[in-house]
A and B are shown apart, each in its own frame.
Chain A
Amino acid sequence: MNYQWNWSLLLDEPYAGWLLAGLGWTVALSVVGWVIALPLGTAIGIARTSSSRWLRVLSGFYVSVFRNIPLLLQMFVWFFVVPELLPDRLGLWFKRDLPNPEFWTAALALAFYTSGRLAELFRAGLQAVPRGQVMAADATGMSRPQALRHVIMPQALRIILPPLTSEFLSIVKNSSLALTIGVLELTAQSRQIENFTFHGFEAFGAATAFYMLVALILNLVMVSLRRTLTLPVAV
């Protein structure tokens, strides 16, 4: 293998700026997507465990749609198809006047895709809380929402905390798909640097390092969250 290493080029302009801008878009996509996906996924997850049959069927259909179609295809649908189906004026605004349309469509696609996965996670967590707990809450006269809020959800959250953090890592990774509709996030930038300089090792290495950093930070966050949320046990 014959390769000229040149790690210092990563510090040169414009490449350093590209990488940082890419990291910025990756973080922005992930955070915006997550902020939408979390409440949506929670609501759908609760609906999945509802006592009403049609709510269960409807939310089950929602989850199956967003989980059984590849994210990349979903992204294309949001970008190419949805604006065509919107009422004319809204579609036009979407295509022409919305600033950063690629960013917002990608964030929306990520949000809905992730909400389907989070819904399944919340459903599993809610169902993992022992039935006796629900009964105990009922027996003290709590309403369904009160029992959910004060008794069931706090326990479900503790159960799903580890997979929940790895879902956040997933949305960070999945945000890379936004490059296919033209968002210059981290992976796109490293690809572009490779194209310009033919120094793929350095370019992809830098992106890899950034993603690993995010994963490490998330690991730390999870460990400390777990420590604060874990119920004290006598030694």
Chain B
Amino acid sequence: MIEFDHVNKHYGAHHVLRDITMTVSRGEVVVVCGPSGSGKSTLIKCVNALESYQSGHILVEGVDVKSKARSAAALRQRVGMVFQNFELYPHLSVIDNICIAQRVVLKRHAGEARERAWRLLDRVGLRDKAAAYPMNLSGGQQQRIAIARALALDPEIMLFDEPTSALDPEMINEVLDVMTALAADGMTMMVVTHEMGFARRVASRVVFMDKGEVVEDCSTTEFFNDTKSRADRTRQFLDKILSH
């Protein structure tokens, strides 16, 4: 579904992504973790062409991200994204946030878009907030709306860029619950997160990145249980984030 083939990216002298090669299959949930500055956010933003890269290839559903055969807009209809800071549109109500891309990108009729929005609001449990504005919602509610907004275009793949790291602790679970349900429905997901509990329960694979390279890429059970086979940096990282 997503294939990375020797992907390299530089920011001036800074080598942000080093020779990334891996595959995400249909229905897989891949958790990407690593210290800050390890390139994990950049990596998933390359998948929907929000970031560019200098060499190598990324294929999404078999088509190169940079291919002229498919526009960036067409690619992004297939790949939904959820941001760390939600990035809901503050000037639009919740329901309009979910409808706007359906209207202008997919050219759906208002009624059709709204019907889809209502179903998604049910799915994230926020039907009663349809008329509210983002700034009146809690962080957890905003992030659930952001997930609904991304799902409104019926994507095949969902990218999550640290979806819970801007949230107060008591709101993290409501968002992870929505993501867990999504995974159970068979959505292909790449999730940048430090929520190791979520990774353990939901992920099919865990990728650990450091300094722009993939250090580990293995099944969830291997990652957490077979700690002897893990690299030193992985163990150090896990010790740090699991110590309390």
A residues in contact (CB < 8 Å) with B:
130, 132-133, 135-136, 138-143, 146, 149-151, 154-155, 158, 231-234
Contact = CB atoms under 8 A, between A and B. Distances in A.
Contacts of A146: 104-105
Nearest to B73: A141
A136 B105 contact: no
Contact of B89 (A133, A139, A143): A133
A231 B89 contact: no
Contacts of A136: 81, 83, 87-89
Contact of A231 (B72, B74, B79, B91): B91
Nearest to A138: B50
Contacts of B89: 133, 136, 150-151, 154-155
B100 A139 contact: no
B87 A133 contact: yes
A134 to B, nearest CB: 9
B184 to A, nearest CB: 24
B74 A141 contact: yes
B143 interface: no
Given A138-B76, A141-B76, A233-B136, A132 B87 contact: yes
Contacts of B60: none
Nearest to A231: B133
Given A139-B48, A155-B90, A233-B136, 9 more contacts: A132-B87, A135-B83, A136-B87, A141-B76, A141-B101, A143-B73, A149-B104, A232-B133, A232-B136
Nearest to A147: B104
Contacts, number: 73
B91 to A, nearest CB: 5
Interface size class of B (residues with CB under 8 A): 20 to 34
B135 A231 contact: yes
Chain A binding site: helix, strand, loop or mixed by DSSP? helix
A140 B83 contact: no
Contact of B91 (A138, A141, A154, A234): A154
B85 interface: yes
29 contacts: A132-B87, A133-B89, A135-B50, A135-B83, A135-B87, A138-B72, A138-B76, A139-B80, A139-B81, A139-B83, A139-B150, A140-B77, A140-B80, A140-B105, A140-B150, A141-B74, A141-B101, A141-B105, A142-B73, A142-B101, A142-B105, A146-B104, A146-B105, A149-B104, A231-B133, A231-B135, A232-B133, A233-B135, A234-B136
Q: Which of B80, B91, B100 has the most CB of A within 10 A?
A: B91
Interface in B102-155: 104-105, 133, 135-136, 149-150, 153
Contacts of B83: 132, 135-136, 139
Closest 3 CB pairs of A and B: A136-B87, A140-B101, A141-B76
